[in-house]
Amino acid sequence: MDHPAGPADLDAADRAPSVPQQEHQAYPKPTRIVIASRESRLAMWQAEHVRDRLSSLYPSATVDILGMTTRGDQILDRPLAKVGGKGLFVKELETALLEGRADLAVHSMKDVPMTLADEFALVATMERELPQDAFVSSRYASLDDLPPGAVVGTSSLRRESQLRAQFPYLTVSSLRGNLDTRLRKLDEGQYDAIILAAAGLKRLGLGDRIRALLPVELSLPAAGQGALGIEALASRPEVAAWLSPLVCPVTEACVRAERAVSRALAGSCEVPLAAYCVVEGGALWLRARVAMPDGSRIAAAEVRGNVAQPEALAADCVEALRADGAQAILDDLAHP
């Protein structure tokens, strides 16, 4: 398929201004960097990870973390999809960038809205941690061991739909809260097992709670899962230059493809959507699924293409998804 890189493609893409190597010298090294972060244990771990990387890159700079509570952290009782979705986790951090209280914000890419306002740019996508979902349980070693009627906790429509399609005899039950809260609810016996992102557990030193990694064929990950992204003001190219050593080009290409699929399908927490890309044999291999929450229908597609054109590949993938019935599913979700 032919993909002229027209302005429309560029508008739709994540703005990740790559800074040519020779331009680095044009910016003085930082003397102070402030990182805005949510205050959950996972978010703080991620911010500290970036702080430590920056401190070793720029030993003479002071790197501080500005912890903030976002609306997404405060609203714990209702499904996120109902109260405003992913944007709730980034808005306060973006305000700190705009007001000059912070230079950059560290996010789980999975939680970053598919479209950012013009003032902001994703300036670095870092190397991906484990992308898979993890099976966590004290009594059972894997999904296959669960008896009929066993209660599995997850609040992700993506996980729920794929579970229901493949394990119709299980009971999927809502589970919210930060990682520690979710594990506590499991340990209190409210669930027989729960499904969480493996990356979050590993980062918090809870990797030993993972009984099994769900193969991506079983639970295709969310766009950006396992990758950290760094956001800064589009008007501050020097921040992008400081962060350029943290960029993982392979992860960046993969996550761009995943996010472009999600963006094209108006991906939100309300649409069960999975998009996962790897580089294999020098090419991008992008897989995506759109499902009914009850798992009764799943549209799936996979495409392979040029590493240099993730958005073009995503467009192919979206076309293949629509051909497999994704539009009908989206229409049903919009007008139940």
Ligand X SMILES: NCc1[nH]cc(CCC(=O)O)c1CC(=O)O
Catalytic site positions:
111
Given a contact cutoff of 8 angstroms between Cβ atoms, the answer to whether 158 and 225 are in contact is: no
Among 196, 239, 284, 317, binds ligand X (CB under 6 A): 196
104-133 residues in contact with ligand X (CB under 6 A) are 108, 110-111
Give the nearer residue to ligand X in terms of CB position, either 80 or 234. 80
Among 34, 197, 253, 315, binds ligand X (CB under 6 A): 197
How far is 181 from 327, CA to CA, in rounded Å? 36
Would you count residue 199 as binding ligand X (CB under 6 A)?
A: yes
207-226 residues in contact with ligand X (CB under 6 A) are 225-226
How far is 314 from 262, CA to CA, in rounded Å? 9
Pick left, alpha or beta for residue 129 (phi over 0 → left; psi -120 to 50 → alpha; otherwise beta): beta
Extended strands (E) in the chain: 32-38, 62-68, 104-108, 120-125, 133-136, 151-153, 171-173, 193-197, 212-213, 228-233, 273-280, 283-291, 298-305
| Number of amino acids touching ligand X (CB under 6 A) | 9
Place of tokens 């102070």: 32
Site string for ligand X, 56-75 (x = CB under 6 A): --------------------
Would you count residue 298 as binding ligand X (CB under 6 A)?
A: no
Minimum CB–partner distance for residue 62 and ligand X (Å): 27
Give the nearer residue to ligand X in terms of CB position, either 19 or 223. 223
Would you count residue 310 as binding ligand X (CB under 6 A)?
A: no
Give the nearer residue to ligand X in terms of CB position, either 51 or 158. 158
Q: Which residue is nearest to ligand X (CB)?
A: 200
Minimum CB–partner distance for residue 130 and ligand X (Å): 9
Would you count residue 229 as binding ligand X (CB under 6 A)?
A: no
Burial classification of residue 270, based on how many CB atoms lie within 10 Å of its CB (0-12 exposed, 13-18 middle, 19 or more buried): middle
Would you count residue 273 as binding ligand X (CB under 6 A)?
A: no
Place of tokens 């193969």: 215
Among 87, 113, 153, 200, binds ligand X (CB under 6 A): 200
Would you count residue 163 as binding ligand X (CB under 6 A)?
A: no
Minimum CB–partner distance for residue 78 and ligand X (Å): 15
User: Is the sign of the CA dihedral 186, 214, 84, 35 positive or negative?
Assistant: positive
Rule CB under 6 A: which residues touch ligand X?
108, 110-111, 196-197, 199-200, 225-226
